[in-house]
């Protein structure tokens, strides 16, 4: 069996603007170059595209599961214009302040969502990547054995400072989404990369 590689994506703050507990699909705004970049990675390099996001707004009572699903659907509607779509959306609605330890097992930095996706889609985690803007994203990638890319959108700049202070750096730090995807293309082609 040949395992495929995936690009795991955090959602809010990584592929779209994060207004805080996003529940209204009309508020979905993709960051520049997200559509074009994902289209290249999926259609030219055969990446499986999987969103893995913590959606604790459900546990907090700010949004409903249906709202999360509608936002996810809207993201794919916007991506259709670029001839690409997210293959699957995994999300964890739990938060330790409101849920049991067992219910929070899916919550990043746990690698559970990535591992579940790897089983469902026959993914090789070691040849896969995760792009995210938070510490929990980078740690989830590390815990799953993926390469981690911190993007400086969303909470990325604050996250970089926190990771620097812990001497726990991601594989790459990207100014924007296109830079993150350019890194992936160079990395899989074996080019030497300046970190």
Within 8 A by CB and 6+ apart from 17, the residues are: 29, 31
d(CA 113, CA 187): 24
Catalytic residues, by residue number, are: 10, 12
| 159 Cβ contact list (under 8 Å, min separation 6) | 133, 134, 135, 138, 150
Matching residue, tokens 């990043």: 108
Please measure the distance between the N-terminal and C-terminal CA atoms of the chain and give it in whole angstroms. 33
């Amino acid at each position: 069996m040949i395992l495929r590689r995936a690009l795991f994506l955090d959602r809010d703050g990584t592929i779209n603007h994060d207004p805080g507990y996003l529940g209204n699909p009309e508020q979905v705004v993709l960051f520049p170059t997200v559509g074009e970049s994902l289209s290249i990675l999926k259609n030219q390099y055969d990446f499986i595209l999987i969103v893995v996001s913590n959606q604790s707004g459900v546990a907090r009572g700010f949004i409903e599961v249906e709202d999360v699903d509608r936002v996810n659907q809207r993201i794919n509607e916007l991506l259709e214009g670029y001839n690409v779509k997210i293959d699957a959306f995994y999300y964890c609605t739990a938060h330790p302040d409101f849920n049991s330890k067992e219910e929070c097992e899916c919550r990043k930095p746990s690698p559970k969502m990535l591992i579940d996706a790897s089983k469902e889609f026959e993914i090789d985690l070691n040849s896969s990547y995760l792009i995210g803007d938070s510490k929990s994203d980078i740690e989830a990638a590390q815990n799953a054995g993926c390469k981690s890319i911190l993007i400086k959108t969303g909470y990325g700049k604050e996250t970089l400072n926190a990771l620097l202070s812990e001497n726990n750096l991601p594989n790459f730090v990207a100014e924007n989404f296109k830079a993150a995807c350019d890194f992936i293309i160079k990395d899989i082609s074996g080019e030497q990369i300046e970190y």
